[in-house]
A = this chain, B = another copy of it.
């Protein structure tokens, strides 16, 4: 895992927006480009940066290219932040709480979806 490449990939708002979009599910290159008022070559460059950091996988799907997120490098980024205890103990506590909340919400949603099936 190349932390330089990962953090650098996260340092642009368009690339973060792309990851946010992909976190909601796979998307084609044109779906990823749509929200941003920039040229396709610029979009393509951003996708290459994400791919270079291992955050994105692109696969041909008929005539289009489908992109999906690979979250493993983000775990490495989390790992760095936690391993070196750059955050204070109270921040850890608050983060742990926040994560617990998020997990509860996710479980609730999963149950709701299971129920609606």
Contacts and interface: CB of A to CB of B under 8 A. Distances in A.
A5 to B, nearest CB: 8
Interface stretch (A27-35, A40-48, A69-77): A69-77
B75 A78 contact: no
Interface in A61-87: 69, 71, 74-75, 77-78, 80-82, 84-87
Provide the main secondary structure of the chain A interface. helix
B10 A7 contact: yes
A12 to B, nearest CB: 7
Given A4-B12, A7-B10, A11-B4, A86 B99 contact: no
Interface string A16-54: 100110010000000000000000000000000000000
Contacts of A102: 82, 85, 92
B78 A81 contact: yes
